[in-house]
Amino acid sequence: MSEIKLIREDGRRLDGRLPEELRPIKIEVGVLKRADGSCYFELGRNKVVAAVYGPRELHPRHAQDARRAAVRFRYNMAPFSVEERRRPGPDRRSVEISKVSREALEPVIIAEYYPRAAIDIFVEILESDAGTRTAGINAASVALADAGIPMKGLVSAVAVGKVDGQIVLDLMSEEDQYGEMDMPVAMVTRTNTITLLQMDGRVTMEEFDRALDLAIAGCRRIYELQRKALIEKYSESRAEEGGV
Amino acid sequence: MSEIKLIREDGRRLDGRLPEELRPIKIEVGVLKRADGSCYFELGRNKVVAAVYGPRELHPRHAQDARRAAVRFRYNMAPFSVEERRRPGPDRRSVEISKVSREALEPVIIAEYYPRAAIDIFVEILESDAGTRTAGINAASVALADAGIPMKGLVSAVAVGKVDGQIVLDLMSEEDQYGEMDMPVAMVTRTNTITLLQMDGRVTMEEFDRALDLAIAGCRRIYELQRKALIEKYSESRAEEGGV
Amino acid sequence: MSEIKLIREDGRRLDGRLPEELRPIKIEVGVLKRADGSCYFELGRNKVVAAVYGPRELHPRHAQDARRAAVRFRYNMAPFSVEERRRPGPDRRSVEISKVSREALEPVIIAEYYPRAAIDIFVEILESDAGTRTAGINAASVALADAGIPMKGLVSAVAVGKVDGQIVLDLMSEEDQYGEMDMPVAMVTRTNTITLLQMDGRVTMEEFDRALDLAIAGCRRIYELQRKALIEKYSESRAEEGGV
Amino acid sequence: MSEVLDEIRKDYLFNLVRRGKRIDGRGFHDFRELHIRTNVISKAEGSAWVELGLTEVLVGVKLQPGEPFPDTPDKGVIITNAELVPLASPMFEPGPPDENGVELARVVDRGIRESGALNLEKLCIEEGEKVWIVFIDVHVLNHEGNLIDASALGAIAALATTRIPCERYGLGNDEKLPVRDLPVSVTAVDIAGEVLIDPNLYEESAASCRLTVISNTDGTISAMQKGGTGGLSPEITKKTVKVAVECAKDIRENILSGVVASLEPY
Amino acid sequence: MSEVLDEIRKDYLFNLVRRGKRIDGRGFHDFRELHIRTNVISKAEGSAWVELGLTEVLVGVKLQPGEPFPDTPDKGVIITNAELVPLASPMFEPGPPDENGVELARVVDRGIRESGALNLEKLCIEEGEKVWIVFIDVHVLNHEGNLIDASALGAIAALATTRIPCERYGLGNDEKLPVRDLPVSVTAVDIAGEVLIDPNLYEESAASCRLTVISNTDGTISAMQKGGTGGLSPEITKKTVKVAVECAKDIRENILSGVVASLEPY
Amino acid sequence: MSEVLDEIRKDYLFNLVRRGKRIDGRGFHDFRELHIRTNVISKAEGSAWVELGLTEVLVGVKLQPGEPFPDTPDKGVIITNAELVPLASPMFEPGPPDENGVELARVVDRGIRESGALNLEKLCIEEGEKVWIVFIDVHVLNHEGNLIDASALGAIAALATTRIPCERYGLGNDEKLPVRDLPVSVTAVDIAGEVLIDPNLYEESAASCRLTVISNTDGTISAMQKGGTGGLSPEITKKTVKVAVECAKDIRENILSGVVASLEPY
């Protein structure tokens, strides 16, 4: 257990949140005009933007799949998004995150509709404060919907952890660094399916079960916000189209 | 203004040149036998050699342009061409020079004659003493002509600068390093078109106008030397062919 | 000549071998199930494993040769195979070894039978103690036979050297490091053809002739062991097939 | 790509210009609507989010102590990088910067460096040993034309609002980055003999070349760059320089001054 | 690839599972035959050659003194790398690790690191200056499914039999590497609603996703990783965790204990 | 490529050789016309421009102080690099050295290194701390066959005329690089059972393999390299060595001696 106290005497966390409370979330749909779909997502101090291009032609040809579209995902951190300036380009961490994030989204994408094509998802981390991979998945999921990619449901993601012996939702930076466990989870709320699950730290089986349940509850809340943002965007645009 | 005096009391520069004087130039056409066209170019202590291959097949196929030949340009410095040994391979400076040099030559190349093909221009800097990019463009322009690539005119290039408050032609190394401004320019003399223009330093608008006029005058003089070298080569070869 | 004594007073070498003696050799055929052919080869403390895949489709298409299969060879050292941990990935040494090893094997491979195809040979050095390139060629040659690639003969390889002024067979690590000469040789015993020959050190012409003769004798002995291992494997499998 | 459509669109643009008009209704020498928000990334020492029409660029500035160059032992170091991330345009590919990204970074860098906007002498911590390394990272978010101007504006706006993180490195109190000039990049294309400032993506594609002029408060020019596969007449070139210096003045006074509190004396 | 055959094979596997069977006759929660030989590479400080059915992985451990990370000046450093060399499978290509190699290395690394199996404090040579760098290199030789478990088992077996080469670096007598736990990685796939442990290559290809659970002697979990393009229900997930912890116990007691002489106290 | 033409040309070459002739009229053991100009690049400490028939290679030598290798703390360091720049041949591609470039550099390097031509002990500045790093850079300009010999000749000619730039680094007066032997590389191909020295591009393509022998003033051999996809009989191999040593002597005495003023004693 860490020497730094992460849960205050009043049961609240360093930023005043309750154990099962999310950080403030802001979602904007369709923010980038070049992309086919896009989403800006804030989770506390995390700022991420996702863009989707496709279905579009896939080069090189021998990488095409005759049965379905290839889904590609690139998670990238801006050099200034972290405390110590980061060298541009992929590192091992971002390669792994790109892989598991893609695999978190693929279960909902109906790729069979677009054989030989590519669906490209790009996530840029503009500012990072623990939780960028889940923020990226949330943004990407909304951007896919915004791009009109046929999906079986929205994917929502959040991390849970264990700090000062307690299971808490949505780790912030200090909790991530000094806590005992970090577990990012992504879910398709509509089908009750887990599509991302990673864990490191040290927990008992019982703690794991509780943590998973908390993550699922957190994903549900984020799902509602994603839906709301999309509905607002669509009604806005319908209003715009219909209006004047 | 620099502490080093770059213009002597007699109005001449460190190497004895007048402000509007070029360094000695040597041009040899067709020096490399494997290439379709080539040119060795000396400008003071700068030694560069250019080769042209093409029009030839372009790989990979999806890079081919159905409307015109792709013009490619690679500026490369030999590791021993500079004071401090240079690591082989492209750096950011050479990538930028390759781009602007290609863009200096493309306006005269009639690439539409060779759809899907590649025209490759390679410039190797064997020794460097300020002015390699303009020397490379001069060499490449002659090498293109030597390769029989259809062109709207020859491209000629030279740098102008400001040293000790004065606008001078064809900067040498010390002037480049300690001067107040460096401006490489390429021109198509036949059409009076500027095809390369870069500048860094600090000048007023009036100084810029004067510098540009001087650069144009310098390019004209180089153009005459390029023409002469090509004419000599052709009459030689005609003599050879017709002779004996 | 080195200060370290490499030949003992009784004429034997540091590991007790006579000058013309090989280190112990162990050959196992068909050890890796995914590969089309494979071989595990031990030479003293050297441990190498070779796998052959092919003939198989060659990507990219424009690299295909309409007349014959492309033979590719990759020599790779495991990071833990040497005293000081080796960074993964090819270095200049392994690029050169891959080239000369491929060229040692190509003379026996009847590549014309498989136009447009690839025959891929992969050699992994699991432990290294001088002689890995020859061990790799020996292993690869057996793996090619195991894969059923049509061949004009087996290739056998061994290094000879000069230590304490004497020509010796099959250099071990100390002899390689402190000796006066190292000469890896590969041979096709059936056709008496040399297919690999490299040398560095310093020898007279007469010494070279003797060294080459010794290398050829060494290759013959290894050839017999390669044959024996293959015969055993085949009779085993025939027994297995026929048996029960 | 549909080359017929390309041609039609190009003709349309040229005809518009001949009638004194631009496709989005601007005057020839007008910039698109320009918004600059600074201090948007709290992890960065300085940042600016630039919207130039639909073009969006985020520039972040980070500082850390490091070694000076041997030939300038008493000066800070500027390192400028630009990422044309594939999120910003269907034309951008993942991977290390290609020639367009390199050119963008280098032109932005020259504008800052050659103008002397940043007082590098003040960024020396210990001569020959330790100086501040100033990383300027251009992150393009949406490419709708004229990335150079958007990026250069973002760079100077971010720098002019950057704090040196002295405390983090135990070097005393944080300080303002010593910025003493506001160089402004202005890019133009020549269409039908007219100088069109701040080309949008359509204009950029239709024009065969562009010219960028970066100029300072005193009206001097500190960097120029021609790009593209076409050429310019000397007259258009000189005219562009004049127009660019005027536009720079306008942007400096009407936009940048609202973003930047105060400058160091030169 | 023949997609029809793929489908037929997949259906066959699913039907088998529905009848309570696996393609190679194992029970759902059984590992394939597992052999671990340690100290097979004398140039390495530790090594383990793992055969898991036909899957073969060689893990080597090398140690050398180096600098600690600034934020952990009194701790040794673990660097884990995995090479999916093309010798091991027709699907592997030469070149730097792709996403599969990177994921493999990182999951193996997390299992070792997060379990606290390696007492990093004991690997400090001189605080802030010099610590032992522990290189764990996974070299896959034959890929017939479930590389993660084979590699993770190889890593802990190699570490638990590693000697620190103090003598070579003039740092006293060689010592045993301070290993104090035996984390075991157990991977499962969900086929037809059943949890299948240690999937072979066929099962791995047929299943849409896998879940890896790495657990320790005391039954706690220290790392998990879901992989693959499918999803899992919360119930299957929880069930997999329980089965995985049981299997880990079994392997630890019946296989690893035979390889590893003794552990450090925690 | 036209394979029919290839075959015809190859047959023609073989028939010529059987009649005792070469395509360019040379004797079997003759080099093409060889010109070496040294000190052609004033920025380099040493340089040699070699013309061997139409093959042209420029070799530059640069020196700078640097750290010795840990196992040779009192010796200078040689680093040899070869660039097969695409200017020199339609077969060369831009990019880092491929296997041909690597082999070229390594054979040239071994010839210099193993012959002991360079007295590395004399290149120690401060034992264990600072020695001269000698960079030998081979820049191929026109590839018409036998790059190894042209490059190796360029390397030794450049080294033998190199000055150590002591003054530039405040280490006293410039000195001659301590070269004490003139190793000469001689490459041959076997065509129709004959040893053809210094193959031109046609001969190189027609022959299935080549053998390079680098020998010294005293007639000893210090490096060899077989290249190409064919094989050699032991007899041809031994014969090639003898012829190569003879040719080397000839070139050393008739060409290199005219370029190099004097050598250090061995």
Residue pLDDT tens, chain E, 266 long: 467 778 888 899 999 999 999 999 999 999 999 999 999 999 999 999 999 999 999 999 999 999 999 999 999 999 999 999 999 999 999 999 999 999 999 999 999 999 999 999 999 999 999 999 999 999 999 999 999 999 999 999 999 999 999 999 999 999 999 999 999 999 999 999 999 999 999 999 999 999 999 999 999 999 999 999 999 999 999 999 999 999 999 999 999 988 887 787 76
Alpha-carbon span E99 to E162, nearest angstrom? 29
Query: Which segments of F80-226 does DSSP mark as H helices, in order?
Result: 99-115, 147-160, 201-206
Peptide bond into A79 cis (omega under 30): no
Render pLDDT for B3-26 as a digit per residue (tens, 0 to 9).
689 999 999 999 999 999 999 999
Query: What pLDDT digit, counting tens, does each position of F237-260 carry?
Result: 999 999 999 999 999 999 998 888
- C219 within 8 A of C183, measured Cβ to Cβ: no
**Residues on A contacting B at a C-beta cutoff of 8 Å:** 59-61
The sign one gets for the Cα dihedral B76, B80, B85, B88 is: positive
Per CB-CB distance under 8 Å, the chain C contacts of A62 are 59-61
Interchain pair F237, C194: CB under 8 A: yes
> Is B155's Cβ below 8 Å from some Cβ in D?
no
E139 and E58 Cβ atoms separated by less than 8 Å: yes
pLDDT at B244 over 50: no
Q: Which of chain D's residues have a Cβ under 8 Å away from the Cβ of B193?
A: 231-233
Q: Report the complex ipTM.
A: 0.95
> Which residues, in sequence order, are CB contacts of F169 under 8 Å at separation 6+?
F64, F65
CA gap D209, D195 in Å, rounded: 11
CA–CA distance, C135 with C123 (Å, rounded to integer): 9
Asked whether the predicted pLDDT for residue F210 surpasses 80, the reply is yes
pLDDT value for C175: 95
Q: Does C73 touch chain E (CB under 8 A)?
A: no
Q: Which residues of A touch C61 (CB under 8 A)?
A: 62
Query: Which pTM was predicted?
Result: 0.96
Q: Is the pLDDT of residue B120 over 90?
A: yes
Chains D and B touch (3+ CB pairs under 8 A): yes
Tokens of residue D93, six digits: 């590919």
Q: Quickly tell me which residue has 């024009």 as its tokens.
A: D207
Cβ–Cβ < 8 Å for D218, D144: no
Q: Which residue has the tokens 């075991």?
A: E184
Nearest to E233 among A106, A193, A208 (CB): A193
Q: Which residues of E175-185 are buried (b: 16+ CB within 10 A; e: fewer)?
A: eebbbbbbbbb
Q: In sequence order, which ranges of B10-160 are alpha helices (DSSP H)?
A: 92-105, 132-146
Mean pLDDT score across all residues of chain E? 95
Q: How far apart are the first and last CA of chain C?
A: 62
Q: How confident is the model at residue F5 (pLDDT cuts 50, 70, 90)?
A: confident
Answer whether E148's CB lies under 8 Å from E185's CB: yes
DSSP H or E run through F62 = strand F55-66
Mean per-residue pLDDT for C214-224?
98
| pLDDT score recorded for residue C60 | 82
Name the pLDDT band for B240 (thresholds 50, 70, 90). Answer: low
DSSP letters, D101-155, are HHHHHHHHHHHHHHHT-B-GGGGEEETTTEEEEEEEEEEEEE-SS-HHHHHHHHH
In angstroms, the CA D155 to CA D170 distance is 27
The Cα–Cα gap between A228 and A88 comes to: 34
pLDDT at position C61, please?
83
CA dihedral sign of residues D83, D85, D91, D93: positive
Distances (CA, A) of B41 to B38, B78, B139, B146, C100: 10, 15, 6, 14, 39
When CB atoms are compared, the residue of F62, F96, F142 closest to B80 is F62
Q: Is F33's Cβ below 8 Å from some Cβ in B?
A: no
Provide mean pLDDT across the span F133-145.
98
Contact between chains at F139 and B78 (C-beta distance less than 8 A): yes
Instruction: Dig out the tokens for F215 from the structure.
Output: 């020998």
Contacts of C88 in chain E (CB under 8 A): 81, 83, 96-97, 137
Residue the block writes with tokens 């990012």: A184
E strand residue ranges, D143-217: 163-164, 175-176, 184-191, 194-197, 210-215
Could you tell me which chain F residue has the CA closest to the CA of C92?
A: F102
Q: Beta partners for B183?
A: B160
With both helix axes pointing from N to C terminus, report the angle between E234-251 and A205-242 in degrees, rounded to the nearest 10: 150
What is d(CA D57, CA D52) in angstroms, rounded to the nearest whole number? 8
> For residue C180, which amino acid is it?
E
Chain C within 8 Å of E2 (Cβ-Cβ)? no
pLDDT band at B153 (very low <50, low <70, confident <90, very high): very high
Q: What is the pLDDT of residues A68-104, one digit of tens each?
A: 999 999 999 999 999 999 999 999 999 999 999 999 9
Tokens representing C14? 């540091």
Q: Please report, for residues A38, A141, D211, D246, the alpha-carbon distance to residue A124 in angstroms, rounded to integers and kept in the order given.
A: 11, 14, 31, 36
Partner residue opposite F43 with nearest CB, options B35, B89, B127: B127
**Alpha carbon distance C10, C73 (integer Å):** 42
Helices A92-105/A132-146 angle, 10° precision: 40
Q: Do chains A and F touch (3 or more CB pairs under 8 A)?
A: no
Cβ contact A–D (≥3 pairs, < 8 Å): yes
CB D103 within 8 A of CB D82: no
Task: Identify the H or E element spanning E63.
Answer: strand E55-66
| pLDDT band at residue B243 using 50, 70 and 90 as cut-offs | very low
Give dist(CA B125, CA B79) in Å, integer.
Answer: 9
**Rg value, chain F, Cα:** 19
Contacts of A45 in chain D (CB under 8 A): 42-43
- Tokens of residue D258, six digits: 């609202």
pLDDT of residue D186: 98
CA nearest A160: which of A117, A115, A203, A99?
A203
Spatial CA neighbour of E110 closest among E131, E139, E136, E73: E136
What average pLDDT does the segment C82-109 reach?
A: 97
Q: State what percent of residues in chain A have pLDDT above 70.
A: 96
Give me the CATH topology for the region A25-243: Ribosomal Protein S5; domain 2 (3.30.230)
Rg value, chain B, Cα: 18
State both tokens at B36: 């379709």
Evaluate whether E191 touches E17 at the Cβ level (below 8 Å): yes
Q: What is the pLDDT of residues F63-95, one digit of tens each?
A: 999 999 999 999 999 999 999 999 999 999 999
Given this model, what pLDDT does residue C242 score?
55
Q: What is the DSSP letter of B229?
A: H
H or E segment to which residue E125 belongs = strand E124-126
Q: How far is CA F148 from the centre of its chain?
A: 5
What strand order describes the sheet that includes B166-169?
Answer: B166-169, B155-163, B181-188, B193-203, D221-227, D210-215, D184-191, D194-197
**Coil, strand or helix: which one is A48?**
strand
Calculate mean pLDDT across residues C170-174: 96
Please classify residue C239 by burial: count the beta carbons closer than 10 Å to its beta carbon, then call 0-12 exposed, 13-18 middle and 19+ buried. exposed
For B91, B108, C183, E23, F157, the CA distances from B194, given in Å and listed in that order, are: 26, 11, 61, 74, 44
Nearest to C126 by CA among B24, E44, A231, F185: E44
* Closest to D80 in 3D by CA, of B197, A126, B92: B92
Partner-chain residue, chosen from C191, C193, C199, that has the shortest CB–CB distance to F221: C199
- Which of C201, C181, C209 is closest to F111 using CA atoms? C201
Fold topology of D21-258: Ribosomal Protein S5; domain 2 (3.30.230)
Reported as half-sphere exposure (CB side, CA atoms, 13 A), residue E201 has a value of 15
Residue A135 banded pLDDT, cuts 50, 70, 90: very high
D29 three-state secondary structure: coil
Please state, in angstroms and rounded to a whole number, the distance separating the CA atoms of residues D222 and B205.
10
Region of poorest pLDDT, from A223-237, D79-93, F208-222: A223-237
Q: Which positions in chain B touch C60 (Cβ < 8 Å)?
A: 60
pLDDT tens sequence across A37-52: 999 999 999 999 999 9
Band of residue C1 on the pLDDT scale cut at 50, 70, 90: very low
Using the predicted structure, report yes or no on whether residue F4 has a pLDDT greater than 80.
Answer: no
Show the low-confidence residues of chain D (pLDDT under 70): 1-2, 266
- pLDDT confidence band for A243 (50 / 70 / 90): very low
pLDDT at A115 over 90: yes
For an interface test with E, give the residue of C26, C33, C34 to mutate (most E CBs within 10 A): C34
What was the pLDDT predicted at F193? 93
Of C106, C194, C204, nearest to F220 by CB-CB distance is C204
Q: Which residues of B touch D110 (CB under 8 A)?
A: 200
